[in-house]
């Protein structure tokens, strides 16, 4: 009983910090034995029927879109298992379901009935929003400054109308302020290849990092007025022809108003106090991971092309572009042993980059582990990450008896230990104040413990050491690679 309560509390707590979905494998008992090395009179199956069970909200066409087969398809028997298993993973990676299982029933004349059993997630989350506004947990833990707390009301309606649409409202106060709305629809055409999205709002900041000194951000704060105000809007188009590749095109508009003080403290902060510009953003993704939130097998590649400024507006005093790319590969070495490696890189044009738009290492997933406390400025960088991991607790499914709702009562969890090794390099041609970690080789290694559970929740605890001899205990809430 104590374990049940502990797992439930972990789930509730996780929603205030940062969705991971597992399913059972295909029911292989209903298939004939593997015929790759034996003779069989059955060479193919005809898909007679596909039955969906449990999708009370999700429209059938959203699920069919992820399948690698359809009714009346003729499929070789040696391919059917792989197609069904990959289809199950595709459905899980929509983040609409907690569990997916697929059963097969062989009918006369080589016909096959497929039953897809689904456990839907809870899609509507009207909740209080609480978040510490820092690059990572450890940089906040150094000061434990509660003034950096963001709070507000966050309303998210995923799978809106059962069509995988997303509707979000944000009302956020505190360290940063944000008032915004966004809407996304995955498909607008019959072939289900084109989607659209639109968002807009206002943000304001009372405290802003205005420069970097000795690889630490320098902050300036004004309680009575905004240092940065921004009115923004974005329109995007998504093209997804097949299952694994996605093209996204963004066009956004930003209207920034900066305090005079910021450009006085750092003349390179924004160059002018009132800045308006358009941004074009293109993103290509090719995703062959088994489970997106915490992959163990497969590979992933993305490529971003970003251009700020097109000399179309009077105050568009900006002209910069960069390419950002990442590649990740995941292997199952043997039972319970896994390896993952990845590379992130950014290459910028030679144009000047204002400080408020420049991001080197230390942001998002672009960092070398063991350097979490540092910001390493650079217009160009490369990071290599690797993990050797062992499943202490392979994926288990647990039913919490005192929760009556299936969307929450069935959970899965797993625990991994891992050895990590990271390397990196950031090239900074603009220069910062005694930023010694730029333009030098970076190295970090250590040990980690990853706890993974449902609704894409990952809790990482790592102890690592860098080439400076500094060591520390670090906490993160996303997969390491």
Instruction: Say what the pLDDT of residue 15 is.
Output: 36
Nearest 5 degrees, angle CA 53-CA 58-CA 59? 90
Question: Per-residue DSSP letters for 393-457?
Answer: EEEEEEE-TT---HHHHEEEEEEEEEEEEEEEEEE-SS--BT-TTTTS-EEEEEEEEEEEETTTE
Q: Is the pLDDT of residue 317 over 70?
A: yes
> What does the pLDDT read at residue 125?
76
CATH number of 124-476: 2.40.160.50
Distance CA 252, CA 231 (A): 11
**Lowest model confidence (mean pLDDT) among 16-25, 164-173, 427-436:** 16-25
If you average pLDDT over residues 90-103, what whole number do you get? 92
Mean pLDDT of 345-354: 92
Quickly count: other Cβ atoms within 10 Å of residue 121's Cβ.
21
Whole-angstrom Cα distance, residue 420 to residue 448?
A: 7
pLDDT of the residue at 267:
92
Q: Where are the alpha helices (DSSP H) in 276-411?
A: 406-409
Q: Which residue has the tokens 């910090």?
A: 17
For the cut 70, the answer to whether the pLDDT of residue 8 exceeds it is no
**Spatial separation of the C-alpha atoms in residues 167 and 196, rounded to whole Å:** 12
**Per-residue buried b or exposed e for 327-337, using 16+ beta carbons within 10 Å of the residue's own CB:** ebbbeeeeeee
Residue 56 confidence (pLDDT) above 80: yes
List the single range of 238-247, 282-291, 333-342, 453-462 with lowest mean pLDDT.
453-462
Q: How confident is the model at residue 135 (pLDDT cuts 50, 70, 90)?
A: low
User: Which residues 6+ apart lie within 8 Å of 386 measured at CB?
Assistant: 339, 340, 341, 342, 420, 421, 422, 481
Q: What is the tens place of the pLDDT at every residue in 401-452?
A: 777 766 667 788 999 999 999 999 999 988 767 889 999 999 999 999 999 9
pLDDT band at 111 (very low <50, low <70, confident <90, very high): very high
List the structure tokens of 435: 């930023």
Report pLDDT for 336: 95
Measuring CA to CA, how many Å separate 304 from each of 345, 364, 437? 10, 15, 25
Q: What is the DSSP letter of 88?
A: H
Q: What is the mean pLDDT of residues 60-80?
A: 94
**pLDDT mean over 310-329:** 93
Instruction: Give the span between the Cα atoms of 242 and 192, in whole angstroms.
Output: 10
Pick the CATH number of 20-120 from 3.40.1010.10, 1.25.50.10, 3.30.230.10, 3.10.20.310: 3.10.20.310
What's phi and psi for 88, nearest 5 deg? -60, -45
Identify the pLDDT of residue 24: 34
Q: Which pLDDT score is estimated for 437?
A: 95
Task: Give the model confidence (pLDDT) of 461-470 as tens digits.
Answer: 999 999 999 9
Q: Are strands 216-221 and 320-334 parallel, antiparallel or unpaired?
A: unpaired
**Top-confidence range, 46-60, 157-171, 396-410:** 46-60
Q: Is residue 328 within 8 Å of 342, Cβ to Cβ?
A: yes
Q: And the tokens for 2?
A: 């104590």
At residue 142, what are phi and psi to the nearest 5 degrees?
-60, -40
Residue carrying structure tokens 């995955």: 186
Contact 355, 211 (CB under 8 A): yes
Summarised one tens digit per residue, pLDDT across range 210-225 is 999 999 999 998 888 8
Could you give the CA distance from residue 202 to residue 180 in angstroms, rounded to a whole number?
Answer: 6
What is the average pLDDT across 165-169?
92
Rounded to 5°, angle at Cα 434 from 430 and 438: 60
Summarize pLDDT for 262-292 with one digit per residue, the tens.
Answer: 999 999 999 899 999 999 999 999 999 998 9
Q: How far is residue 407's CA from residue 57's CA, in Å, rounded to a whole number?
A: 12
% of the chain at pLDDT higher than 90: 65
- Closest C-alpha to 208, from 270, 272, 280: 270
Which residues of the chain are in CATH 3.10.20.310 domains?
A: 20-120
pLDDT value, residue 476: 92
Mean pLDDT of 302-330: 94
Higher pLDDT: 122 or 104? It is 104
Which tokens belong to 417?
């230990």
Pick from 283, 367, 371, 368: nearest CA to 322: 283
Q: Which residues contact 337 (CB under 8 A, 6 or more apart)?
A: 388, 389, 390, 391
Q: Where in the chain is the domain with CATH 2.40.160.50?
A: 124-476
Q: For the residues 10-38, what does the mean pLDDT come to?
A: 37
The share of the chain scoring above pLDDT 70, in percent, equals 85
């Amino acid at each position: 009983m104590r374990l049940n309560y502990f797992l439930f509390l972990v789930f509730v707590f996780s929603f205030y910090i940062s969705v991971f979905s597992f399913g059972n494998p295909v029911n292989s008992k209903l298939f004939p034995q593997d015929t790759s090395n034996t003779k069989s009179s059955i060479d193919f199956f005809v898909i007679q029927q596909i039955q969906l069970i449990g999708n009370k909200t999700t429209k059938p066409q959203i699920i069919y879109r992820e399948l690698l087969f359809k009714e009346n398809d003729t499929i070789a028997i040696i391919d059917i298992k792989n197609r069904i298993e990959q289809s199950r993973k595709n459905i899980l990676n929509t983040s609409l379901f907690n569990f997916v299982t697929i059963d097969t029933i062989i009918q006369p004349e080589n016909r096959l009935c497929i039953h897809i059993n689904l456990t839907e997630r809870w899609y509507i989350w009207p909740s209080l929003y609480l978040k510490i506004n820092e690059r990572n947990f450890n940089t906040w833990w150094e000061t434990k400054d509660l003034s950096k707390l963001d709070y507000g009301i966050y309303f998210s309606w995923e799978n809106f109308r059962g069509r995988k649409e997303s509707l979000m409202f944000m009302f956020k106060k505190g360290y940063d302020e944000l008032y915004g709305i966004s809407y996304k629809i995955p498909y607008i055409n019959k072939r289900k290849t084109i989607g659209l999205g639109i968002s807009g709002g206002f943000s304001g900041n009372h405290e802003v990092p205005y420069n970097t000194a000795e690889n630490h951000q320098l902050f300036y704060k004004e309680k009575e007025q905004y240092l940065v105000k921004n009115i923004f809007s974005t329109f995007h188009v998504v093209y997804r022809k097949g299952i694994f590749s996605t093209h996204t095109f963004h066009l956004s508009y930003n209207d920034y108003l900066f305090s005079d003080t910021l450009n006085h403290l750092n003349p390179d902060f924004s160059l002018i106090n009132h800045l308006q510009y358009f941004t074009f953003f293109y993103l290509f993704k090719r995703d062959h991971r088994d489970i997106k939130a915490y992959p163990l097998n497969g590979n992933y590649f993305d490529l971003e092309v970003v251009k700020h400024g097109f000399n179309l507006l009077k105050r568009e005093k900006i002209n910069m572009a960069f390419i950002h790319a990442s590649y990740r590969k995941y292997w199952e070495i043997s039972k319970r042993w896994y390896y993952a490696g990845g590379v992130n890189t950014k290459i910028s044009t030679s144009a000047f980059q204002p400080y408020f738009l420049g991001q080197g290492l230390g942001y998002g997933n672009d960092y070398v582990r063991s350097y979490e406390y540092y910001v390493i400025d650079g217009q160009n960088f490369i990071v290599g990450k690797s993990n050797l991991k062992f499943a202490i607790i392979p994926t288990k499914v647990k039913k919490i008896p005192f929760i009556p709702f299936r969307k929450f009562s069935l959970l899965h969890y797993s625990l991994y230990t891992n050895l990590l090794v990271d390397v990196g390099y950031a090239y900074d041609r603009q220069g910062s104040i005694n930023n010694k970690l730029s333009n030098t080789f970076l190295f970090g290694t250590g040990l980690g413990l990853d706890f993974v559970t449902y609704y894409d929740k990952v809790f990482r605890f790592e102890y690592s050491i860098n080439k400076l001899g500094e060591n520390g205990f670090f906490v993160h809430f996303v997969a390491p690679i």
